[in-house]
Chains A and B, each alone.
Chain A
Amino acid sequence: MKVIMSLLFFDMAFWFYLATMILYIGYWIIKKEWLGQASTVLAIISTFAIFMMLIFRTKESGHAPFSNLYESMSFFVWIISIAYLVIEFRYKIKVVGAFVMSIAFIAMLATSMLPYRFQDIQPLNPALQSIWFELHVFSAFIGYAGFGLALGMAVMYLIKARFEESKTSHFLIDRLPPSAILDELSYKSVAWGFVFFTMGALILGAVWANKAWGTYWSWDPKETWSLITWFVYAAYLHARVTRGWRGKKAAYVAIFGFLSTVFLYWGVSFVLPGLHTYASQ
């Protein structure tokens, strides 16, 4: 099958994201207003490019663009970019972009390094031909994006909080938003992520499994790792209301949660066997 346009847009998006990341980091370092505006414009262009990639991919394959790692990673990048742009417009803090766009670019880099066979279009195997499968992945990936954002916020929080506590100053750190804002943004990202992750990975995944295999839950490694990830983020939410755990410890839980998410997404497909090995076919 022909996959020319989507590959073209992916390659374009790759370079756009590289440039976006560099501009945001540049803005963080030299804090020139025009650089900040250029960063935002480029972020919008990158988001649009990866969106076009997804559109063409859908047209070329005839199914929703998340049937393998190459497609779903691109979808992840798209969602996290949109979420970031919303935050930038609502909270007016651009320095955060240096971190988030780095995550987006790393995701693009990882995607581009996937073996060639992933770029090819695979016809859907019988189990994947279901609207529940599409909703499942769609919602789960919004969840992943939320967790990705939370990772960026939690890392910034830890750095910033350390400097605030010791009352030391460094021009790069001073430009980060106050730790209280980072903490709140991290929480909000987890909250959005948690809702969509629960709906997508757990609930819709269970509905799909029930349709396809006759059980909503079978402890297959991918399912189990979704549950593990879910436990970790549930712990994050409760750490925030627990004396002695709010703040730094909670931020570490958010980082831990993202490691679990990455393993859920990549590790399980490549390391552990199970129903979801379609991704490593």
Chain B
Amino acid sequence: MTTSDKDPIHIIIGNKIWGLFGSLKFTLFILFSLAVFSIIGTVIQQNQPPAFYTMEYGKWASLILRLGLEDMYHARWFSTLLVFLIVNIVVCTIDRFPPKWKSTFESKVDVDARFIKNLLNNHTIILNDEPALARERIMNVLRSKRYKIKEANNAGGMSIYAWKGMIGRFGSDVVHVSLLLILAGVIIGSIVGFKDFGAFYEGEVTTIPVSEFQFGIDSSWHGIPLPKIQRYRKASDIQLRLDKFWIDYYETGQTKQYNSILTVSDNGKEVIKGKQIWVNAPLHYKGLTFYQSSYGMAYDKVKQAEFVLKNSKSGKAIAPFFTADWNTPFDIPGTDYRIRIVGFVSDFAFDPATKTIFPKSAEHNNPAINVEIYKAGKLVSRPWLFYNYTDLFAAIPGSDYELVFQRYQGILYTGLSINKDPGTTVVWAGSVLMVVGFFMAFFIFHKKIWINVKRNGNETEVYVGGMINKNKFIFERELSEIAESIKSDISGGVRK
């Protein structure tokens, strides 16, 4: 689009912007910027709490946080560049596609010898045959090489236009459209999809929560109403039961595979029964996918624990060790004591403000168990016993006894990712289209050949010339071969 001085200012500016977005230099700028921002995102650790950046980067931390470099790929910078890329592609296509379409399909058939001699690749052949015979021969050569052909008669003789691989010209457009499709898939996924994680215990049934969305209006930015997507979670009708979880090992002791057996019910009815999943083999149901993603030992529960009752003075055990099950009263043999395991934390921590005990992490760093001790049916104490510090709080009040927490058997849970992303299909469709576009763009070449046949005295002059959009050297060879076949067929022509 061109601008003249007489145009009003908004037209001039409009054309300038259009020109910018239609330019390939701008594309290079966007691509390099995307690369640079992405690099920053791999150098600065992403999505850490603000304190982390203060510690790591000192006075730069505030700048990093202000520019959103701590969440690079969701920062304004990054999405702006992606939007620019999309606009760039759209504008470029609108600008360039129509002329390209025209020049691809509309090619001159009737050309003279001078036109051919001006082509980068051209050959001149002198034959002794009649033009009609020469034409026949040319046609055969071109047909055998699968060219499409048009002819025209002209004053001096005739012209032939032959072409193939026209579709290759549009490979880049297919690639560009596919890119838009992939980005559309990503956007659909970010609106409609969700990802969740859950820890599941053997035998337990869990109702799967899903995430829904709703369009709303957000006026928090300068009072301007902007569309907003609100998400909320709700329980679905789908329930999941973990039937079994186990780990396979290699002989060397390395982990071979994590496996879970799952049963899915929908509205109370079992729809998938005992399906085994493992890493790389998830379970699909109604757009939801369940992935084997991790495993671990429960941080708030044990299956059973082993204790010893000791005389605190002599240090001698009253009875051999005994094992109590979770939450099940157990009479210690040979005594009138009874215990019950009522709590467990894998990594003991105490919050003085609320006076509560909680697991600091899911790691089994400092396991502690909460037991109730009864004597003759009466609760005498309710201590937390420590696995790592066995003599801490071990004494039973009003007695010479102490209870030592010696060992425990944890409960394995399986960590499942639960995921729904309808955009994925669109992304795959775009990916396939992109590969198709690549093959069109890179491996199908648009070849054009013009041939002019002219009678000159008792000789026939044949001018052969061609053009290709890329892959020039291989085409040069092909054109020479064509010229050679035209010349060498049956009667001996002379090639100049």
* Bound form: Cα–Cα A245–B255 in Å: 52
Q: Mark B273-292, 1 if CB is under 8 A from A, else 0.
A: 00000111110000001010
Q: Are A214's CB and B279's CB within 8 A? A: no
Q: Are A238's CB and B291's CB within 8 A? A: no
B213 within 8 A of A: no
Q: Mark A184-221, 1 if CB is under 8 A from B, else 0.
A: 10011001101100110001001110111111110101
Q: Are A125's CB and B25's CB within 8 A? A: no
A–B Cβ pairs within 8 angstroms, 6 of them: A126-B278, A198-B438, A215-B421, A217-B186, A231-B32, A242-B25
Which B59-94 residues sit within 8 Å CB-CB of chain A? 73
Which B398-454 residues sit within 8 Å CB-CB of chain A? 417, 419, 421, 424, 427-428, 431, 434-435, 438-439, 442
Q: Mark A223-263, 1 if CB is under 8 A from B, else 0.
A: 01101100110110011011011000000000000001000
B258 within 8 A of A: yes
Give chain B's interface residues, CB within 8 Å of chain A: 24-25, 27-28, 31-32, 34-35, 38-39, 41-42, 46, 73, 186, 195, 250, 252, 254-258, 278-282, 289, 291, 293, 417, 419, 421, 424, 427-428, 431, 434-435, 438-439, 442, 470-474
Give the Cβ gap from B244 to chain A, nearest Cβ, in Å: 17
Q: Are B256's CB and A232's CB within 8 A? A: no
Among B38, B255, B442, residue most surrounded by chain A Cβ atoms (within 10 Å): B38
Which A100-150 residues sit within 8 Å CB-CB of chain B? 123, 125-127, 129-130, 132-133
Q: Are B34's CB and A231's CB within 8 A? A: yes
- B424: A residues at CB distance < 8 A: 210, 216
- B427: A residues at CB distance < 8 A: 206, 216
Give the Cβ gap from A121 to chain B, nearest Cβ, in Å: 10
A89 within 8 A of B: no
Q: Are B38's CB and A227's CB within 8 A? A: yes
Q: Are B27's CB and A225's CB within 8 A? A: no
* Bound form: Cα–Cα A151–B368 in Å: 60
* Bound form: Cα–Cα A217–B473 in Å: 40
8 closest A-B pairs by beta carbon, nearest first, are A126-B279, A191-B442, A130-B280, A214-B291, A235-B31, A214-B419, A242-B24, A231-B35
* Bound form: Cα–Cα A225–B252 in Å: 33
Given A129-B257, A188-B471, A239-B28: A214 in contact with B41 (beta carbons within 8 A): no
Number of A interface residues at 8 Å Cβ cutoff, please give it.
52
* Bound form: Cα–Cα A214–B280 in Å: 9
Across the two chains, which residue of chain A brings its CB closest to B25? Answer: A242
Q: Are B438's CB and A219's CB within 8 A? A: no
- A41: B residues at CB distance < 8 A: none
* Bound form: Cα–Cα A199–B255 in Å: 30
* Bound form: Cα–Cα A240–B38 in Å: 23
Q: Are A198's CB and B435's CB within 8 A? A: yes
Given A184-B472, A219-B46, A219-B73: A198 in contact with B280 (beta carbons within 8 A): no
Given A125-B254, A129-B257: A235 in contact with B28 (beta carbons within 8 A): yes
Total A-B pairs, Cβ < 8 A: 119
A171 within 8 A of B: no
Q: Are B470's CB and A187's CB within 8 A? A: yes
Q: Are A211's CB and B471's CB within 8 A? A: no
Q: Mark A158-197, 1 if CB is under 8 A from B, else 0.
A: 0000000000000000000000110010011001101100
**A-B contacts besides A125-B254, A221-B42, 4 pairs, CB < 8 Å:** A192-B442, A195-B439, A214-B291, A214-B419
- B258: A residues at CB distance < 8 A: 126
Give the Cβ gap from A60 to chain B, nearest Cβ, in Å: 15
- B31: A residues at CB distance < 8 A: 231-232, 234-235, 238
* Bound form: Cα–Cα A126–B250 in Å: 11
A30 within 8 A of B: no
Given A123-B250, A181-B473, A235-B32: A211 in contact with B256 (beta carbons within 8 A): no
Given A215-B419, A227-B38, A231-B35: A129 in contact with B28 (beta carbons within 8 A): no
A8 within 8 A of B: no
Q: Are A126's CB and B39's CB within 8 A? A: no
* Bound form: Cα–Cα A246–B257 in Å: 51
A272 within 8 A of B: yes
